[in-house]
Structure 1
Amino acid sequence: MREIIDAALRRQRRAATGAVILGALLGLLCLLWKDDPARLLPTAAPLAVLFAYYGFFRRPSRAGLRQAPDRSAFYAPPRGAVTFVSVFLAWLPSQLVWYGGRWERDAFWWMFLLGSVAAIAVVGHRQWTRLPMLRITPDGVASDGPQRAMVLPWSALDPLGPPPATEHDSELRLPLARPEQVTRRRRRRAEERVWLRDLDVAPPHLAAAINHYLRHPEHRAAIGTPEEFARLRRALGGAS
């Protein structure tokens, strides 16, 4: 499982680095060609396509959970390189170069510069250290790793489970019965929410799998094994 996480994190880091470079280059081209409107449209088109793809045309995932090679978990991997964060990391440097190169160096310019650099640094650091991945293990549900991972023990989750999900849901609500058992660095609250847009798993399938193990604790110990994976697929109607 560690090898899968490391490989996915390397891909995410390459995508983040490429997004920043792409955005800076597009901003520079727009700045150089600001007096030639005919060139601005094709220069800005790649970012517009990325925004449209992610925001409007990206279809929800229909995949099921995967089995970890080391038999430690069933997991949902990151969906791909084009995420909201990668689009943001391309858009913000383009705006920084484009507008920053045109404005006078006044106080507002410096505020814009410092704010943009700080935003790129914070978001870039998150892409460097945190991975959108969810794992269902014998101990519970874990998400957002490898650093600052959140672990939800089965005993912490509400026995009624998450509400049914539709294929277009962007997040999954996980009600908590014992918030104090949740491993995290944030304040306690009555539920956790898992962001689904960047996970390669169908929301209904994920919700059904979690509900299944909440209602059938006798099967939790076998989570991660090929036999349990096959049994789970049959129990959920053959989703893969």
Structure 2
Amino acid sequence: MSPSLPVRQPTAAPRRDRVHLALVVALLAGGLGVLAARLTVWDVAPGVSGKLFITAILVLFGLTVAAVVLDVKWNRAPARLVVRDGAFVAPPRSRGLAFRLLRAPTSLVFPGTVTLPALDPGPARTGVGALYVLAVLVSTALAFRPGPRVILTPAGVEFAGMFRSRRAPWEDIADVLPTPKVRVRGAWWSLGEDRLDVAPGYTADAIVHYLRYPDRRPLIGTEAEHDRLHRELSTLWAARAAAYAAARPAPRP
């Protein structure tokens, strides 16, 4: 059985995710507001609509650039598993919601602000506008679906995605890799660890731990076991860090 790779354990920084999510939500709301104004109020005020429209587009473009830069720059410093409903859960990253909003509904705003106002008022604009609103609503609803998560229970492990979940009893798990990735009855199940709100390698280490110590499985989901597991894995990570530091070649003088 393969333990997860040694990595540095970071500290949690959830405020960054909340700021990024608020920025993306403001961008989405502002874009829809600009589009609505462009199709209504600004159509009857041609003398000022052009300048207001261009100004609004530039502001939205700046917010988009800022949201993309933050999504790339703010690498989440995740935390440990959480106790929830008698289980240990590796929850989805809240920045994942911001990214889904940025990628789907927000990205629809800019084509709409260009194509819809170009159509003459009438059935054509109404039909295209209705389809556009439907696309925004559907993509927004999909963005707010629960994100991917890994759930450890006394009975086994669950890999829950946005559209389907797969559960395996502990006895069926044959191997573990750090992504996290588990082999169940010859098939590999995986979730990108960048989609989970835990430290890289932490979830895989927790699965390996309970495969090695089955007598601890009935305690999964309790606060006492949660604290004990964190101490155990922290000691493991410290030992790995010391071993890798000792194995590094000495710098040349």
SS of the aligned residue for 2:181 comes to strand
1:208 paired residue number: 205
Distance 1:26 1:38, change over 3 A: closer
Q: Which has the higher contact order (CA 8 A, sep 6+)?
A: 2
For structure 2, the residue ranges without an aligned partner over 5 or more in a row are 1-17, 43-47, 238-253
Aligned mates of 2:117, 2:88 — CA distance in 1: 51
Q: What TM-score do the two structures reach when normalised by structure 2?
A: 0.62
Match of 2:92 among 74, 78, 81: 78
Against the structure 1 CA distance between its residues 236 and 47, is the aligned structure 2 distance closer, same or farther, given a 3 Å change threshold?
A: same
Matched, 1:42 2:49: no
What is the rounded CA distance, in whole Å, between the counterparts of 1:102 and 1:22 in structure 2?
17
Q: What is the alpha-carbon root mean square deviation over aligned residues?
A: 3.9
Alpha-carbon deviation of 1:228? 1.8
* Letter in structure 2 aligned against 1:58: W
Say which SS state the counterpart of residue 148 (structure 2) adopts: strand
Change over 3 Å in CA distance of 1:39–1:18 after alignment to 2: closer
Distance 1:96 1:206, change over 3 A: same
Q: Which residue of 2 aligns with 1:98?
A: 113
Give 3-state SS (helix, strand or coil) of 2:191's partner.
strand
Partner of 2:11: none
Unaligned runs of 5+ in 1: 1-10, 165-171, 180-189
Q: Which residue of 2 aligns with 1:192?
A: 189
- Specify whether residues 26 and 77 from structure 1 end up closer, same or farther in structure 2 by C-alpha distance, changes over 3 A only: farther
Q: 1:25 aligns with which of 14, 20, 33?
A: 33
Q: Which residue pairs with 1:7 in the alignment?
A: none
Which of the two has higher C-alpha Rg?
2
User: How many residue pairs are counted as aligned between the two chains?
Assistant: 203
CA contact (8 A) 1:133 1:144 kept: yes
Query: Identity of aligned pairs, percent?
Result: 26
What is residue 168 of structure 1 aligned with on the other side? none
> Which structure shows the bigger proportion of residues in helix conformation?
2
Name the SS for the 1:75 alignment partner: strand
| Contact 1:79/1:199 (<8 A) preserved | yes
| C-alpha contact 2:92 2:148 (8 A) present in aligned 1 | yes
